Amino acid sequence: MLGVLTYETELARVLEAVGPRIGILGDEPTTEDETVGSTDAHLPAPVLPPPVRVTSKTLFSHPETHPIVLDLALLAKYPGAEWLEWEPESLQYHVAKDLGPLSDLNFSKIMAMKALHMVDSFWEQWEVFTWVTMPLNGIFPDFQVMQVPHVAQAMVAAFVANRVREDVPWSDEVRHFLGVVHQNDGIFLAQPPVEDAIIDTKGVAIDLASVSARWPGIRVSGQGPTGASAEDEQLRRMLTVREVLAESILRLRSQLPLVSHA
């Protein structure tokens, strides 16, 4: 099995190589959005579903295929998780031969899933967290310009990671990074699966105790408050990112039956 440093270098090399060959899907942070403390673009724009749904024949080429579905399809096709030991070039060859056309975008998702299986770095190093989070949200990582994921994207990535492994705790480094992600989006209460984020709330003019008390009812009802207070806005932001995660989970569930036909 590849060593941690060797694998991280290989992950970066492969993702950087495939990135420029296909357009970005999703809400890629702009240079302006990356400034810590900016809250103007605090939420990712919803991605409309493509006109053609994912099918067993397009599982490895469709841009909306869920990364967990790709992972499960590979584990089902190659018993013993042998694909995790293959070099990237061998993986591309076998998937294209055995399972159909493989897009660059879905190859980057597979490499991100491979990283979750093989090393702990997603939970330990903020750079690797970012590299892996982007493909898990249908976005190529940018190795030239620092990307800061949105809270919703971090939640989706953490949800996916938890389906692979639950034995690795978040490092303080990543917990603080997740805190910066929340601050960048103007969200000051963290939700599962990133509830361990360390958020600096000093000087925040929001009654967070009130927000925390109101949140369970808002979450269950799915209806955001209509008021204009800072607390109302906080709750709306929290609900919006929760809805993005829910959409990802719904997409996963709708695609799971395709695994048996891959």
pLDDT tens digits for 112-131? 999 999 999 999 999 999 99
| Residue 26 in domain | no
Rounded Cα distance between 128 and 54, Å, is: 29
Q: Quick one: tokens of 55?
A: 């099918």
Residues in the chain: 262
| Residue 171 in domain | yes
| Residue 36 in domain | no
| Residue 102 in domain | yes
pTM higher than the cut 0.85: no
Confidence bin at 260 (pLDDT 50/70/90): confident
DSSP 103: -
Residue in this structure with the two tokens 């891959």, named with its chain if needed: 262
In total, how many domains does the chain have?
1
Domain that holds residue 15: 4-20+51-261
Question: Considering the chain, what is the average pLDDT of its residues?
Answer: 84
Question: In the chain, helix, strand, coil percent, each to 5?
Answer: 55, 0, 45
| Residue 30 in domain | no
| Residue 80 in domain | yes
pLDDT tens digits for 223-254? 999 999 999 999 999 999 999 999 999 999 99
Quick one: pLDDT at residue 17?
53
Confidence bin at 15 (pLDDT 50/70/90): low
Given a cut of 60, whether residue 1 has pLDDT beyond it is no
Report the number of secondary-structure helices (H) and strands (E) in the chain. 10, 0
Quick one: pLDDT at residue 84?
94
Q: Yes or no: say if 15 and 115 are a contact pair by the CB < 8 Å rule.
A: no
Quick one: pLDDT at residue 29?
33
Quick one: pLDDT at residue 182?
98
Rounded Cα distance between 235 and 223, Å, is: 10
Q: How far is CA 231 from the centre of its chain?
A: 27
| Residue 230 in domain | yes
Quick one: pLDDT at residue 52?
55
Given a cut of 90, whether residue 37 has pLDDT beyond it is no
One-letter identity of residue 112 = A
| Residue 40 in domain | no
Q: Yes or no: say if 4 and 94 are a contact pair by the CB < 8 Å rule.
A: no
